[in-house]
Amino acid sequence: MLKKIRIITAAFFIAALTLLFLDYTGIVHSYLGWSAKVQFVPALLSINIFLIAVLIVITLLLGRFYCSAACPLGIFQDAVSRITNIGKKNRFGYRAPRKAFVGLRFALLGIFVFAVIGHISIIMIFIEPYSAYGRMVSQIFGPVYQWGNNVLAHFAERAGSYAFYSVDIWLKSAGALIVAALTFVVVGIFAWKSGRGYCNTICPVGACLAIITKFSFVKPPINKEKCIGCGLCAKNCKAGCIDPVKKEVDYLRCVSCCNCIEKCPKKAITFALHNPFGAKSVKNMKNDSDKLTNDGAARRGVISTAAILALGFITRPFAAIYQFDGGLAPLENKKASNRKTPVIPAGSGSMRHFSRHCTACQLCVSACTNQVLRPSKNLQPHMSFERGYCRPECVKCSQVCPTKAIRPITIAEKSATQIGYAVWRMDLCVNITGSVSCDLCSYKCPSGAITLIHQSSADLSSPKIPMIDTNRCTGCGACENLCPVRPQSAIYVEGVDTHRTV
């Protein structure tokens, strides 16, 4: 029964999260956006005490059930393992815990915890499982999904239907694509060769939950009196944590998939109550808990890492589409402007807050219908206005962010928030260089921050140039996006470290 619940839950979460990262209409986010917010690291970074408590309670009751039923990267590994081993039965086997791998696993957890405490986002971004899955879907599968949509739109249009509409498919970040591809290859090889090998070697969430599992109240022990030593449990254990010779289970690696319970012909494995503070289980659990980490050194690593994680959790809350060329320039693609400070979405508050909370999952990038958000060099999203501008009525990115790196805001709050300010470049403006009259920047500015004035107040025949009121400018990027000058706009948005109300 528990396995059926796990499979149904896993199918729901992998479908929901995949659709979230593929959806570009915003419809899916309004119904399933919560599925991203219940992931372990997003809940931790958003300091959602209730969700964290629920995940801990589930782990104390059922072990690493989260890894098997809710973590998208874990479920993805199960799918890859099954697909790459079609027709192979009993394809797994016991893998004895080696000192090097046990040490690496908890060392990576320690590094991850220090990265969270010290707000070293680049480390956190690369090994966090939810964000890794999000990048794979948005960067690798997203373009394929959009291409399929465009094919349907093509035929639907010729059939007189507008149920589908074409969308632009373009490379938002070569770096993010490379990282996503490498992640796909590494995780895929782990899944192909050893099932949940990535979860039990690299994943910091798996290591964290393994520590909690050590104190869980329900575990699946092997009844040595019933066991006939057939080894079917070990051959079907995707975590490779069942020793068929000693008839013991390494619960630190067990992901509660229930395969062993289903495959055992003698029903020698069942979930049983266990006293986490005693040496033996309530129902005749034979194996001593000290053997789970293979030796004393590994056990000390578990305890020290748990202490680091607890310290990090306690101290963290206190740690401080319209294009216009006007026939004025060649139809070249626009290039990103050179900004000293990146522009980040309204709701972020400041670069400090945003960089410390963002895991670069790319969910906001997928949800941005204005084609403004894209991954930066460190994979965290920033705003660029070559293909659109941040429309005042759109707050989708703030609604979908699971870590509160972008806090939820209203349309009114966004319209009054300055995320940057416009900067005019006289050397590129066609009013100066082309001896023509252009007023797009002032005409299209939604906040009325740009006014055209004569270059010389004494000469009314002098060309008009934009005067920018930085106290009214919100940094939406309409002026930069609609400026006819290419490849770089004659007016661009410079970001600010801390957002303010205008």
Tell me, yes or no, whether 52 lies in a domain.
yes
Question: 356 and 286, same structural domain?
Answer: no
Buried b (16+ CB within 10 A) or exposed e, 39-71: bbbbbbbbebeebeeebeebbeebbbbbbbbbb
Question: 468 and 383, same structural domain?
Answer: yes
∠ CA 323-374-363, rounded to 5°: 120
Question: 360 and 284, same structural domain?
Answer: no
Task: Report the alpha-carbon distance of residue 127 to residue 203 in Å, rounded.
Answer: 6
Question: Is residue 437 over pLDDT 90?
Answer: no
Question: Is residue 446 over pLDDT 70?
Answer: yes
Question: 286 and 201, same structural domain?
Answer: yes
Domain that holds residue 70: 2-293
CB 399 within 8 A of CB 339: no
CATH number of the domain within which 381 lies: 3.30.70.20
Of 293, 320, 342, which residue sits at a domain end? 293
Question: 372 and 287, same structural domain?
Answer: no
Task: Report the alpha-carbon distance of residue 44 to residue 313 in Å, rounded.
Answer: 8
The residue that leads in pLDDT, 13 or 322, is 13
Tell me, yes or no, whether 328 lies in a domain.
no
Q: Which two tokens stand for residue 35?
A: 């599925």
What's the pLDDT tens digit per position in 282-299? Answer: 444 444 334 433 444 445
Tell me, yes or no, whether 216 lies in a domain.
yes
Question: 260 and 363, same structural domain?
Answer: no
Question: 363 and 280, same structural domain?
Answer: no
What's the pLDDT tens digit per position in 87-120? Answer: 788 888 888 887 767 888 888 888 888 888 887 7
Question: Is residue 336 over pLDDT 50?
Answer: yes
pTM: 0.80
Tell me, yes or no, whether 301 lies in a domain.
no
Tell me, yes or no, whether 156 lies in a domain.
yes
Question: 394 and 270, same structural domain?
Answer: no
Tokens 């528990």 map to which residue? 2
Tell me, yes or no, whether 456 lies in a domain.
yes
Task: Report the alpha-carbon distance of residue 453 to residue 424 in Å, rounded.
Answer: 13
Percent of the chain with pLDDT over 90: 49
Question: 375 and 250, same structural domain?
Answer: no
- Domains held by the chain: number: 2
Question: Is residue 275 over pLDDT 80?
Answer: no
Tell me, yes or no, whether 346 lies in a domain.
no
Q: Which two tokens stand for residue 350?
A: 């400041």
Question: 400 and 275, same structural domain?
Answer: no
Question: 476 and 375, same structural domain?
Answer: yes
Task: Report the alpha-carbon distance of residue 361 to residue 359 in Å, rounded.
Answer: 6
DSSP string, 154-219: HHHHHTT--SS-------S-HHHHHHHHHHHHHHHHHHHHHSSTTTTTT-HHHHHHHHHHTT-SEE
Question: 368 and 286, same structural domain?
Answer: no
Tell me, yes or no, whether 310 lies in a domain.
no
